[in-house]
Amino acid sequence: MTSNQDRRDFYSRIAAHYDEIVVNDVRYEAHVLVPQRLLELYAKPHARVLDLACGTGLGSMRFFEAGFDVVGIDYSSGMIDVARTRPYSQLYCQSIEDELPVPDDSFDIVTALGVTEFILDPAGLFKRIWRTLQPNGLCAVTIPKPTDAAAELGIKTYTVDEFLKFFDLDDYKLLDQIEFYGWESGHLGKLDGRENDPHHRVDYAASFLQKKSG
Ligand SMILES: C[S@@+](CC[C@H](N)C(=O)[O-])C[C@H]1O[C@@H](n2cnc3c(N)ncnc32)[C@H](O)[C@@H]1O
C-alpha cells in the first residue's frame, strides 16, 4: 500500500506528462463522462464548482468551457503547478482530508474524480462536501469497484452500495449512477520509469447526489 507522501510525490513527478498519458494511453474517461452528466443534471447557465483532487485540471475542463467559476484543491504541488495554467478562480494545495478552505454553502457543484481509492475516511470527506454545497447543490464522485486487479494494486475499492453508506441519505438524494472503465496502472508506472509494471485495470462507478434543501 502506497503512503500518502509517496503518492503525492508520485503525482508531482508525473504532473508534466499526466494529461497526455491519461488521455492517450490510459484512455481515462472520468474527466469527460462525469462533468458531462453533471451539466445535464444541473442545466443552469452559471455555477460555482469545487473540484476536489483536481490534479492538473482535466476534470474541470467542461466547466471552464461552460463559463463556470471553478475552485480546485489538490495536495500535489506538481499537479497544482499545471492546474495554474488553467482558468481556476482559486487553487489550494492541501489534502482534501483536512478541513476545506472554503465557506459553507458556497458551491453549486462539487466533484471528486479519480481519488476515492486513496481516501482514508470517505465519510469524513462527504461531511465536508455537504458543508460546502448550497442547498440543492450537486455532488459527483467516482467509486473504484472491487476486482482482482484492483485488489492486487492494494487500493481501496467499494461496491456502490458499500460506498453510498458513507453518505447520510437524510442529507442527500441519489440522482443517478453510471459505470465505466477507470484506469490501468501500467501506463502510469511507465511515466515513473517502471516500464514493466503490470497493467492492472480499475473499473469505476460514479454516483450523482443532491444536497437536500431542508
Ligand atoms: C488520478 S488523479 C485524478 C486527478 C483529476 N481529478 C482527474 O480526474 O484528472 C488523483 C489526484 O488526486 C490527488 N490526491 C490524492 N489524494 C489526495 C488527497 N488526500 N488530497 C488532495 N489530493 C489528493 C493526487 O495528487 C492526484 O492529483
Compute the distance between CA of residue 62 and CA of residue 129 in angstroms, rounded to an integer: 21
The CB of 18 under 6 Å from ligand 1? The reply is: no
User: If you average pLDDT over each of 18-22, 68-72, 202-206, which comes out highest?
Assistant: 68-72
Nearest ligand 1 atom, CA 12: 25
Closest CA to 171 of 136, 205, 206: 136
**Ligand 1 within 6 A of CB of 111:** no
| Bridging pattern class, strands 201-211 and 133-144 | antiparallel
112 CA distance to ligand 1 middle (Å): 8
Top mean-pLDDT range of 141-145, 146-150, 155-159, 189-193: 141-145
pLDDT of residue 9: 92
Residue-wise pLDDT for 128-140, tens only, equals 999 999 999 999 9
72 lines ligand 1 (CB under 6 A): no
State the Rg of the chain over Cα. 16
CB 203 within 8 A of CB 30: no
Q: How far is the CA of 214 from the centre of ligand 1 (A)?
A: 32
Query: With pLDDT > 90 as the criterion, what percentage of the chain qualifies?
Result: 70
- In the chain, what are the domains? 4-211 (3.40.50.150)
Identify the weakest region by mean pLDDT among 63-72, 91-100, 105-114, 141-150.
Answer: 141-150
What integer is the mean pLDDT of 64-91? 98
Does ligand 1 come within 6 angstroms of the Cβ of 113? Answer: yes
- Residue 92 confidence (pLDDT) above 90: yes
pTM of the model: 0.95
Residue 47 CA to ligand 1 centre (angstroms): 22
Residue 15 pLDDT > 60, yes or no? Answer: yes
CB atoms within 10 A of CB 2: 13
From the CA of 73, give the closest atom in ligand 1: 21
Q: Does residue 116's CB lie within 6 angstroms of at least one atom of ligand 1?
A: no
Q: What are the tens digits of pLDDT across the range 169-190?
A: 788 999 999 999 888 877 777 7
